[in-house]
A and B are shown apart, each in its own frame.
Chain A
Amino acid sequence: GQQVMQIPQYQHVQEGEDFTTYCNSSTTLSNIQWYKQRPGGHPVFLIQLVKSGEVKKQKRLTFQFGEAKKNSSLHITATQTTDVGTYFCAGRSFFGNEKLTFGTGTRLTIIP
C-alpha cells in the first residue's frame, strides 16, 4: 500500500535558525497537505499543494511539491518558539481511492 515517510523524525534548533522537513511518498500523489500538531493538541491543517512543482508561502513557512508529485518539503525561516510542534504531511494517491495517508511526522523543538 501507499507509504509516506518523513525525515527527520526529530529536529532541535536554536531559536532563529531555519528548519526543513521532507516528505516522500511511495506513489504519485494527486495532492499533498501539511498539518501542524501543537504539543497536547490535535493536527491542524496548514496548506494544500496540487500542482507539480508548486511553491506556496505562508509568512515564514515555504511549502514545495515535487515535480514528480511524489515528494514535498516544508521550510521555516528564522524559527520562533511558537513553531514548536509536530509537522505532518498527508497525501492522496493519484490512482487511489481517496484514502488520505499521513506521514510519520517531524517533531520540532526550539531551544530559546
Chain B
Amino acid sequence: EAQVTQNPRYLITVTGKKLTVTCSQNMNHEYMSWYRQDPGLGLRQIYYSMNVEVTDKGDVPEGYKVSRKEKRNFPLILESPSPNQTSLYFCASSFLLGALTEAFFGQGTRLTVV
C-alpha cells in the first residue's frame, strides 16, 4: 500500500530536549516536505527536498533541521525545542515531474513542548 509514515503520532517533550520526527515513503517520490499546521495559519512549509542530499528552506525553517540521506526518508529534527514549536506536523511526498504530482501526507505528529 502506498503510504507516508510518520512517527511518533503524539509527543510531549520539555524545552531544550532534542527530538526527531521520522518520515518514510514507499512510493519512490523525489519531493518530500515538512509542514506545520496552526489554527488560522493553514499549512506552512518548514523544509523541503527535491532529491537525496538536496534540501531547502521553506517559509518557517527557524529552529528546525532536516536531512535526506536516502530517498525514502526525510526526518525532521528539533535540536532545542521551544514552546512556540508546539504544533501539528505533517510530512508529505510527491513526484516532481509528470502529469500528476499530488502530495501524499502522513498521519501527522502532534507535538507539545512544555
Contacts and interface: CB of A to CB of B under 8 A. Distances in A.
Interface of A: 1, 6, 9, 31, 33, 35, 42-45, 48, 88, 90, 92, 97-105
B48 A102 contact: no
Majority SS of interface residues in chain B?
strand
Nearest to B102: A45
Looking at chain B, what size class is its interface with the partner chain? 20 to 34
Contact of A97 (B56, B92, B106): B56
Interface centre among B31, B42, B106, B108 (most CB of A within 10 A): B42
B74 to A, nearest CB: 14
Given A33-B103, A90-B103, A97-B50, 13 more contacts: A1-B59, A6-B42, A45-B103, A98-B96, A99-B48, A100-B31, A102-B42, A102-B43, A102-B45, A103-B42, A104-B40, A104-B41, A105-B42
B61 interface: no
* A-B CB proximity, top 4 nearest: A104-B42, A45-B102, A102-B43, A42-B105
B100 A102 contact: no
Interface string B32-60: 01010000111111001010000010110
Majority SS of interface residues in chain A?
strand
Interface of B: 31, 33, 35, 40-45, 48, 50, 56, 58-59, 90, 92, 94, 96, 100-108
A48 B101 CA distance: 8
Contacts of A90: 43, 103
Nearest to A90: B103
A98 B31 contact: yes
Contacts of B101: 31, 48, 92
A102 B58 CA distance: 11
B28 to A, nearest CB: 17
A6 B40 CA distance: 11
Contacts of B104: 45
